[in-house]
Amino acid sequence: MTSNVIIDKELCTGCRRCSEVCPVNAIEGVQGYPQKINGELCVSCGQCIQVCSAYASSFNENISSRKSKLEERGMLPTVKEPLFAAYSKGNAVKVQNALKNDELYKVVQCAPAVRVALGEEFGMPLGSLTPGKMAAALRLLGFNRVYDTNFGADLTIMEEGSELIKRIEENKNLPMFTSCCPAWVKFAENQYPELLKHLSSCKSPQQMAGTIFKTYGAEMDKVEPSKLFNVAVMPCTCKSLECDRVEMKDSGYKDVDVVLTTRELAYLIKNADIDFVNLPDEDFDTPLGCYSGAGTIFGSTGGIMEAALRTGYELITKEAIPKLELNFVRGGEGIRTAVVQVGELELKVAVVSGLKHVVPVLESIKKGECQFHFIEVMTCPEGCISGGGQPKLLLEEHRKLAYKERKAAIYSHDSKLEIRKSHENPHIKKLYKEFLGQPLGHLSHKLLHTEYGIKEGEFENE
């Protein structure tokens, strides 16, 4: 099975810190000797990358050159940071080459968790919120359109919320799990294929946005879709594999061409000598860069659930939700449950952070004992803000503080936005009116939904 997470045997000391955080026990080896990753089990979450502390020393003359390692890892030659044993194969060089190609129309989208972590790579305080600087930097890098994955998150809520309501009305395939996290999807495909009918058929915000960019967006900009190079900047190492899935071509082309991690975007900005800290703020492009507060909280565990409840409550009751801040679904690693009164419906929900915590839920479904209607699952301990592609923090106290500050920044961003519900985003309404028709409609189903399950030749690079 494909994995883009690798352990460099020349650098690994066998400390096995990586094995302690691996949610699927995919790291094999003996203490004191180089470890290896079992590709059949690995879900490419990158948590091992975050905790790895073994790095290439300039005093060790018995290892491959730094230049060769940078090339092997897909990293820019200008990268100055230490090279650690656990890493993911990158795409910065590929994106840099595309940015130099005048025949391509370059489009980029940025996930909500990126804007609360990117500043750390430039010495800014932990959790600094930098959407405006990020948009400005991406334009300086040469992107023609700077969009936002938060728009895709709002779109996901419209489709996923409608799908949940339909399932509840039909009492079919409940509980419904979220499908935004590709590592969780891969785990379900690997370990619980008999329960895949419980996954939402929705694509992730990244993939929904990518499909819209190459259809509606390309038409809007009068660009030939085959010339549109679509980049997604993500906090996650597994998102690169998601965009390579063979079924992610509903636009008629590869919907998302390549994924960069937060760290890789920082490499590109530094390589271009952009003074990120002092950049004046700029806005994302309209209409596909406009988003609600519900879209931005996707970056933290519980955010999908909260966004879905804000919209689902109003779709079902036709009344305004009494309170927007749903603190009972917010939190950290583990499982949180709640019963939400939505009109006459007692909606039973759960939020799961960390794959080890979802196993008891899955087993309860197999036994016919699960009473939940809707379950959010995130592989990483605090959701996307703690993703494997985020800035690396070696000290545990810094890691905990960073997660706290990143989450605080996300919820602060939400609270200050004028529109905080996905269904009230005027550009989402316009997209349905001018192009998609309606949630779960024929075109929406074709472009925004998929069928999960391991397929032969599942990834493009296999």
**Sign of the CA dihedral 348, 176, 384, 210?**
negative
Active-site residue among 180, 202, 236, 290?
Answer: 180
Active-site residue among 204, 384, 392, 444?
Answer: 384
CA–CA gap between residue 249 and residue 256 (Å, rounded): 8
CA–CA gap between residue 42 and residue 64 (Å, rounded): 26
Q: Is 160 a catalytic residue?
A: yes
Q: Is 163 a catalytic residue?
A: yes
Active-site residue among 163, 306, 382, 405?
Answer: 163
CA–CA gap between residue 374 and residue 152 (Å, rounded): 20
CA–CA gap between residue 218 and residue 366 (Å, rounded): 44
Active-site residue among 88, 128, 200, 386?
Answer: 200
Q: Is 180 a catalytic residue?
A: yes
DSSP letters spanning 282-326: -PPPTTTT---HHHHGGGSTTHHHHHHHHHHHHHHHSS--S-S--
Active-site residue among 106, 186, 203, 239?
Answer: 239
Q: Is 61 a catalytic residue?
A: no
Active-site residue among 120, 121, 159, 160?
Answer: 160
Cβ neighbors of 168 (< 8 A, separation 6 or more) are 174, 345, 373
> Which whole-number Å values give the CA distances from 380 to 47, 235, 236, 304, in the listed order?
7, 11, 9, 14
The dihedrals phi and psi of 380, each to the nearest 5 degrees, come to -80, 150
Active-site residue among 242, 264, 376, 405?
Answer: 242
Q: Is 22 a catalytic residue?
A: no
Which of 215, 109, 205 has its CA nearest to residue 157? 205
Q: By the 8 A CB rule, do 404 and 207 touch?
A: no
Eight-class DSSP state of 379: S
Annotated catalytic residues are 160, 163, 180, 200, 239, 242, 247, 384
